[in-house]
Every structure is written in C-alpha cells, then in structure tokens.
Chain A
Amino acid sequence: MHNSKKKIEITDLAVRYGTMEALKGISFDVYENEILGIIGPAQSGKTTLLKTINRTIEFEPTAHVSGSVKIDGLDVQRIKNVNQLRRRIGMVFPLPVGLPMSIYDNVAFAPRTAGIRKRSELDELVERCLQQAALWDEVKDRLNSLGTKLSGGQQQRLTIARALSHQPEILCLDEFSIAVDPVTTMRIEDILKELRSEITILLVTNLVQQARRLADRTAFIFESKLIEIGDNDVIFSNTPASRLTYDYVNGTFG
C-alpha cells in the first residue's frame, strides 16, 4: 500500500516534563503515504509523541526533549523556522478548538498566514478543504457565521478542514473521534482513506478497532515505551511479537 520511502524517522526519542518521563526512548520510522495507527492506554505518551513532531511540545515550559525526529531526513529540532515546519504538518486535537472567527476565516487562517491573499484562490481552497472534511454541504450557506457555534462534531470536522488547509505533507490526528458521533466518525475515516494517496497520516486513537480498520501499520505504546510496531496483519493477528500487544488488542487488559 505505502511506498518504502521514510517520511519520519524517530530515534531514541525521550521526553520528560520536569521529572515525569513521558517517553522513554522510542525509535521507529513512518513511511510516506501510509496511515500509521498509534494505540495504547491513556498517559502512555501518545500525544507527547505527536507534539514533538510539530514541536508544539515547546508550549510546555517544563518539557525536555532528547533524541531526534527527522522529517525527510531533516532533524526538526534543528529547523530554524518553526512556523515553516508547522505548516507542513496538520494537527487535529482531541477536543475541537474552533478559533473565534467565521467558518471561512477558520479554514483560511493558515493559508493567510502563509501569505495567500487572493480571494478566488482562498475561496477555492476553503471549499475544497471543507469538502474533504465532509462539512461543505452543511455549512456552505453560512460560511460567515461563527465557527464556534457549530456542534461538536461539526467543529471537529472544521478543525480537520483547517488542518488540511495548508496542504500538509503529514497529518496528525489525536483521538479525533472523541467528540464525534459514530456516523460522522465513519465519514471522516473514509476521507482519511482517500487522503492516504496524498499525505502521510499518524492516527493516535483509543479505539483499537479504528486502528485496525484504517491503518496500514500500527504501533503499540505502553508505559512510555514502544512495545511493538508492525503491519496490521501481524499486530492484530493471534501472534504479535509481544504478549502485551495481544492482550491489549483483544481487550484482556487496558
């Protein structure tokens, strides 16, 4: 399904907040145009992992990062223009954060910060992103109303549209379905499958079945360590490399 070009290389990545270790030295690669599922119980460091990739970890004043995350061979810690880096990565948070502006402005936010001014170009972009996030039909008549007035599920799709608006190479989704109903979740999952041909997707999820349905490969993170990463055929088989993985996937613990 995916090609074998490495998009993200993570080596010995360790993160601690003060004295609390959130990631204890993990290493793995993400291939271009794959969907990588990341599963594991709460507090195991999945969100921290995503935050190190686009360096939003820097918002946490106590966070200390060691090891490296490379995108296309470039160490993100060494990238000087962090805004440029973040524009290459779309990020969707567990709870939707609609910016306090209109639906249109929400989606046009990132392109505008990147310097796109032409109205026709923006119009086209906003429509395409909202289409991709399966929200266009519901909001096309009220693009100028406040984004924060949408329902929870709509807002989550708005944040997905926003994350796609700067045409990212990598899309990170952090438990996107927490605030979304099952029907909408399925619609978004279909969209993600389509997007796979264009971008690399990291899907952090609490729903083991979601990773099974969507991902090409899945990584299991437990107690801040990477237990196992492999093709879904293996992870969700009866014989994954680790007993822990089998137990977690089959709901025997966690």
Chain B
Amino acid sequence: MRTIVNIFHQLGRWGEPVIEGIIRLCGISAIIFVFGIFFFVFREGMGFFFGGLDIVEFLTSPEWYPTSVSNKRYGVLALIAGTFSVTVLAMFLAVPFGLGAAIFVSEFCGPKLKETLKIVIELLAAIPSVVWGFIGLTVMNALIIDLFNVPIGLTMLNGGIILALMSVPIIVSIGEDALKAVPDSYREAAEALGATRWQVVYRVLLPTAKNGLLAAVLLGVGRAVGETMAVLMTTGHAVKMPTSPFDSVRTLTATIAAELGEAAVGSDHYRVLFIIGVLLFSITFIVNFVTDLVIKGIREKA
C-alpha cells in the first residue's frame, strides 16, 4: 500500500488524474462486462437465430424435442412456464416469510436472539445449491409423496419450496439492513406519540424502508429465476405445461445445464441453448428495469 502511495507521489501533478482514470475504469468495467457477456452469449446463438429458427414457434410452442431424429422442434414455452411457475410459487412462500422474519429480527427480538438468528440465517445463505437439491431430492420428495398422496414428489411444489428456502435468507438479511437504515429517531418519535411497536412498524418503518424491502424481494426473485442445480434436481425435469403444483416441470436454466454438455458444438441444438441464455438474460434485464421504474415511481409520489 505504501509503495502505491509513493508511486502516486512521484507522479506529482499527474497523480490525481491517474487515480481518477483508474477509478473511472473500475466504474465503467461493469458496463463492459455486461455487454461482453451479452455479446458472447448472443454470438454463439446468432447463426441459428438469423437462419433457421422460427422465433414465433420458439416462444409459443411447448414442444421441445431438440434431439429428435425425424422432427426436431425447439419450443421453449413449457420451459418459460416452468421457470415462471416455480419462481412465482417460491416467492409466494418466501416473501411473507422473509419479510416477516426481517421485521422480527430487526424490531421485535432481543439482542441475544438477534445475534444468533443473524448468524444462523447467514449460514443458511451459504449452503451450496447442490446440497439444497439433495435435500429436495430425498427429504422433500418423500415428504410430498407421503403428505399429498401423489406418485412422484419431484414437482413444481418441491422446486418452489426449495427455492423459497434458498431465497428467504437473502430477503431476510437485505430486508433487515433496510429496516436498520431507518433512523432510531423515527421510532422514538412515533413511540413517544403513543404508537405501539406494531403501529410503528406498519405506519413508519415499512413506508420508509419500502425501497430497500423491494430490493430485498427482487434479489430473492433474481436468485429464484437464476437458480439451476437445485431446480434441476427437484422439479422432475419433465418438459410439460404445468397444470398443478404436483406436475413435474423443467426450467430454462436447468435445460441449459443438462443439455449443453451433450450438444455438438456449433449444432442447432447447441446454438438454441445459447438463445435460451439470451432469453434468460432478457428476462432478468426486464425484471431489473421494471423494478427501477417502480422504485422511481414510488420516490416521485413520496
């Protein structure tokens, strides 16, 4: 560190512009990486995208038979439906649970319990996704078969529960940070006015921390949409338009993970998997963009 400082000293009056340039580069690098990844993924799939692939069929057909000998079909509607259904189910379970836990940890529990809970929750976030997949494959599978009396437990429900369990720690820790960022003077002012703890939470804290809480939820959504290994192991991996939570489904991510290794490099199948990658990329981009708009809307209203 010292030598670096010395170097800048020797640079004399150029020191500051040099530092500024380096910092600027760091900032811009994020943009370069995003475009770089997009470009690379798109380049691999480009040949098929502009030659041969029927985009309408790609997006609207549930028939995914990339390795059929007689009639190859590349429809990803079932995969999109799989990704969305599992994500929505996971969020349905994880958002109330996660936000509830964040409020409890931040506002209602004692300091000792709080420390313990935070450590355990962080530990929960550190469990590798393949371990979650393993739990889904064994414990949750048996549990669902027993509880609901269905023939197979590797279903949308299983994947949704596992994804929810994976998202909750993120929602809790980011949500707790957002609530912690609300100044204590607000709490004290509100309580001095005779508000109960719960009234303080829903009248003062939630409105104040809503941006942070929304960010927490969307990071949870991001994790759920992008998760691969756990859903590959728990959802049954069957190409099918889901009609109930007890159907097996297949997600976009799991399809890429499972098939890319077997597709011949440069083949249509190989390329279409990259187009799925572009699709995933676009979905996350749209989710983030809409979030930004929503947050901006909230800000202006306030």
Q: Quick check: is B126 within 8 A (CB to CB) of the other chain?
A: no
Interface contact B199-A97, CB-CB below 8 Å: no
Q: In the docked arrangement, what's the CA distance between A100 and B205, Å?
A: 9
Which one of B24-32, B51-59, B186-194, B281-289 is at the interface?
Answer: B186-194
Query: Is B203 a contact of A109 with CB atoms below 8 Å?
Result: yes
**List of A residues within 8 angstroms of B123 by Cβ:** none
Is B195 a contact partner of A54 (Cβ separation < 8 A)? no
Once the chains bind, are A86 and B194 in contact (CB under 8 Å)? yes
A84-100 vs B, Cβ < 8 Å mask (1 yes, 0 no): 11110001010101011
B185-A109 in contact (CB<8A): no
Nearest neighbor of B200 in chain A, beta-carbon distance? A113
- Given A100-B207, A101-B207, A109-B203, is A114 in contact with B189 using a C-beta cutoff of 8 Å? no
Q: How far is the CA of A93 from the CA of B196 in the complex (A)?
A: 19
Interface residues on B, range: 20 to 34
B255 contacts partner chain A, Cβ-Cβ < 8 Å: no
Q: Which of B194, B208, B302 contacts A84 (CB 8 A)?
A: B194
Q: Which of B185, B188, B194, B302 contacts A110 (CB 8 A)?
A: B194
Q: Is the CB of A166 within 8 A of B193?
A: yes
How many pairs, one residue from A and one from B, have CB atoms within 8 Å of each other in the complex? Answer: 63
Nearest residue (CB) in B for A92 is B192
A128-174 at interface with B (beta carbon < 8 Å): 146, 159, 162-163, 165-166
Q: Is B204 at the interface (CB under 8 A from chain A)?
A: yes
A54 touches B192 (CB 8 A): yes
| Contacting pair B204 A99 (CB below 8 A) | yes
Contact A56 B199 (CB under 8 A): no
C-alpha spacing A97/B187, complex, angstroms? 10
Is A83 an interface residue, CB under 8 A from the partner? yes
Within 8 A of B (CB), among A63-117: 83-87, 91, 93, 95, 97, 99-101, 109-110, 112-114
Residues of B with C-beta under 8 A to A91: 192-193
Residue A59 interfacial (CB < 8 Å): yes
- Within 8 Å CB of A113, what residues of B? 193-196, 199, 203
- With a cutoff of 8 Å between Cβ atoms, the chain A residues found around residue B193 in the complex are 86-87, 91, 109-110, 113, 162-163, 165-166
Cβ–Cβ < 8 Å partners of B195 in chain A: 83, 109-110, 113
A59 CA to B186 CA in the complex, in Å? 12
Which residues of the other chain, A, contact B203 by a CB distance below 8 angstroms? 109, 112-113
Given the known interface contacts A56-B188, A59-B188, A93-B189, the answer about A100 and B204 at a Cβ–Cβ threshold of 8 Å is yes
A159 to B199 alpha-carbon distance, docked (Å): 19
Can you sample 17 A-B contacts with CB below 8 Å? A54-B192, A56-B191, A56-B192, A59-B191, A83-B196, A86-B192, A87-B193, A100-B186, A100-B204, A109-B193, A109-B195, A109-B203, A110-B193, A113-B196, A113-B199, A114-B194, A165-B193
Interface residues, chain B, CB within 8 Å of chain A?
111, 184-196, 199, 203-204, 207-208, 302
**Chain A: residues with CB nearer than 8 A to chain B?**
54, 56, 59, 61, 83-87, 91, 93, 95, 97, 99-101, 109-110, 112-114, 146, 159, 162-163, 165-166
Given contacts A95-B185, A99-B189, A113-B196, 4 further A-B contacts (CB under 8 A): A59-B191, A100-B186, A100-B302, A109-B193
